Amino acid sequence: MAKTKVKTNIETVNLDAELMEEAMKLSKGKTTVEVINEALRKYIIGFKNRELLDMKGKIYWDGDLNEMRGA
pLDDT for the residue 42? 94
Q: How many domains does the chain have?
A: 1
Instruction: Reduce the DSSP state of residue 63 to 3 states and report it.
Output: coil
> Does residue 6 fall inside a structural domain?
no
Please report whether residue 3 resides in a domain: no
Single pTM value for the model: 0.60
Position 21 in a domain: yes
The answer to whether residue 46 sits within a structural domain is yes
Mind listing the pLDDT tens digit for each residue in 2-44? 665 655 666 677 888 899 899 999 988 788 888 988 999 999 9
The reported pLDDT for the residue numbered 4 is 57
CB atoms within 10 A of CB 5: 4
Contact between 38 and 29 under an 8 Å Cβ cutoff? The reply is yes
- The answer to whether residue 64 is domain-embedded is yes
Q: Which domain holds residue 52?
A: 17-69
Residue 8 within any structural domain of the chain? no
Asked whether the predicted pLDDT for residue 58 surpasses 60, the reply is yes
